């Protein structure tokens, strides 16, 4: 395997093995995301030591883990040059299903979770099929699917919240060897997905389809299948996030997933995955989710006003995204100058 970092669309090495170590590290999106996380935690320690205390971190990590799980699915969609705006509805639907029907007097937790994931998967398949079959914009299709999911949540709930089963709550808020269980779940999801994406033929084909659909089609790949799979997996992970969120919060609301829509996209971009498709880093996405979690923790130590929190976070996230994209653009231009052919 080559040691060069490659722009999958242009097929030009962004950074070669002959470049200085500093430049090679800068060329890896994950290293940039890691640097941002390190800087944020250092700043947090200086500005508010309480925000990096053990208690604060244990309170923040489960939410960062939930963001990482749903953002992992969003990463797969973005790698196919798409965007999934139905994840909010998928989370809300998954949370409602397990909370309303998972109790002992209902379907039971096992069957409720299965139905929640199956329904979320079906919604993702619908999105992928409509987008690939009719060539409609992903934003339009996923917004429509999100509206359907939210409508189902309102219909099934009757407008009332529901209580999650005690077994699910016990797992979601529990810890194993001092580590929150949700963090372990997120690590398993990210690790497995990253392994498949980077170390298997299927993963390399998936990246090729996202980077250059025409070349992939010419190579005999069924490009539509990869796009459909991306939306299906994104919806499945959104539904799973909803199940875990219901357990962690104990009760669920009709808009439980709304708070995870924009963070799922921000984590992807902060993690270095290009919105134009192609190569992506699930590890970078996880670091992006951690960045967002700690940022929220830091801002909350200074103000409890939601409006102020949203403004400050939006500004910092915007700056982070601009820096990430500008570095990638600069490296791409340098690579093109080095390899004009």
Domain 15-338 belongs in CATH node 1.10.3120 = no
Task: Residue 259: name the closest of 292, 281, 231 by CA.
Answer: 292
Q: What is the predicted pLDDT for the residue at 314?
A: 78
Task: Residue 92: name the closest of 233, 255, 265 by CA.
Answer: 255
Query: Does residue 331 surpass a pLDDT of 90?
Result: no
Q: What is the predicted pLDDT for the residue at 28?
A: 64
Q: What is the pLDDT of residues 264-308, one digit of tens each?
A: 999 998 888 877 787 788 999 999 999 999 998 988 888 777 777
Q: What is the predicted pLDDT for the residue at 189?
A: 97
Query: Does residue 3 surpass a pLDDT of 80?
Result: no
Task: Identify the residue whose tokens are 């200074």.
Answer: 302
Q: What is the predicted pLDDT for the residue at 326?
A: 76
Coil/strand/helix, residue 12: strand
Query: Does residue 217 surpass a pLDDT of 70?
Result: yes
Q: What is the predicted pLDDT for the residue at 79?
A: 94
Q: What is the pLDDT of residues 151-206, one digit of tens each?
A: 999 999 988 889 999 999 999 999 999 999 999 999 999 999 999 998 999 999 99
DSSP letter, residue 260: G
Backbone angles phi, psi at 301, to 5 degrees: -75, -15
Structure token digits, residue 238: 């959104």
Q: What is the pLDDT of residues 14-40, one digit of tens each?
A: 545 455 555 555 556 688 889 889 999
Beta bridge partner(s), residue 5: 15
C-alpha separations of 307 from 63, 255, 260, 289, 311 in Å: 20, 18, 17, 21, 6
Q: What is the predicted pLDDT for the residue at 164?
A: 93
What is the band of 59 on the pLDDT scale with cuts at 50, 70, 90?
very high
Query: Does residue 5 surpass a pLDDT of 50?
Result: no
> What radius of gyration, in Å, describes the C-alpha atoms of the chain?
20
> Directed axis angle between helix 306-338 and helix 29-47, to 10°?
140
Query: Does residue 128 surpass a pLDDT of 50?
Result: yes
Q: Residues near 80 by Cβ (< 8 Å), separated by ≥ 6? A: 209, 210, 226, 227, 230, 277
Q: What is the predicted pLDDT for the residue at 10?
A: 40
Q: What is the predicted pLDDT for the residue at 334?
A: 67
- Alpha-carbon dihedral angle through residues 84, 92, 238, 135, given to the nearest 10 degrees: -30
Q: What is the predicted pLDDT for the residue at 70?
A: 98
Q: What is the predicted pLDDT for the residue at 8?
A: 41
- Mean pLDDT rounded to a whole number for the chain: 87
Q: What is the pLDDT of residues 93-107, one digit of tens each?
A: 999 999 999 988 889
Task: Residue 287: name the closest of 96, 42, 71 by CA.
Answer: 71
C-alpha separations of 13 from 24, 200, 329, 330, 339 in Å: 11, 21, 13, 13, 8
Q: What is the pLDDT of residues 60-73, one digit of tens each?
A: 999 999 999 999 99
Which of residues 332 and 316 earns the better pLDDT score?
Answer: 316
Q: Is 125 within 8 Å of 64 (Cβ atoms)?
A: no
Query: Does residue 12 surpass a pLDDT of 80?
Result: no
């Amino acid at each position: 395997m080559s040691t060069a970092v490659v722009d999958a669309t242009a097929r030009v090495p962004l950074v070669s093995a002959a470049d200085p170590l500093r430049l090679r590290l800068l060329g890896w999106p994950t290293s940039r995301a890691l640097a941002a996380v390190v800087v944020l935690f250092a700043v947090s320690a200086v500005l508010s030591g309480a925000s990096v205390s053990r208690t604060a971190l244990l309170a923040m990590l489960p939410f960062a883990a939930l963001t990482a799980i749903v953002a992992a699915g969003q990463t797969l969609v973005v790698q196919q040059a798409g965007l999934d705006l139905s994840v909010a509805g998928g989370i809300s639907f998954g949370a409602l299903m397990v909370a309303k029907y998972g109790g002992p007097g209902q379907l039971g937790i096992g069957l409720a979770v299965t139905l929640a994931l199956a329904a979320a998967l079906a919604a993702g398949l619908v999105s992928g099929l409509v987008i690939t079959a009719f060539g409609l914009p992903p934003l339009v299709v996923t917004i429509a699917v999100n509206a359907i999911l939210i409508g189902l949540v309102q219909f099934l709930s009757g407008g009332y919240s529901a209580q999650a089963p005690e077994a699910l709550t016990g797992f979601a808020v529990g810890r194993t060897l001092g580590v929150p269980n949700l963090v372990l779940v997120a690590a398993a999801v990210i690790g497995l997905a990253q392994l498949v994406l980077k170390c298997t033929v299927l993963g390399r084909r998936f990246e090729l389809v996202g980077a250059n659909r025409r070349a992939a089609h010419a190579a005999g790949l069924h490009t539509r299948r990869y796009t459909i799979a991306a939306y299906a997996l994104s919806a499945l992970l959104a539904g799973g996030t909803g199940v875990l969120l219901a357990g962690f919060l104990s009760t669920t609301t009709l808009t439980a997933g709304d708070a995870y829509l924009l963070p799922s996209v921000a984590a992807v971009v902060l993690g270095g995955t290009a919105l134009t498709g192609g190569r992506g880093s699930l590890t970078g996405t996880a670091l992006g989710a951690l960045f967002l979690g700690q940022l929220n923790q830091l801002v909350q130590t200074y103000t409890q006003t939601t409006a102020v929190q949203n403004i400050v976070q939006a500004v910092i996230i915007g700056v982070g995204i601009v820096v990430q994209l500008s570095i990638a653009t600069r490296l791409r231009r340098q690579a093109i100058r080095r390899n004009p052919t």
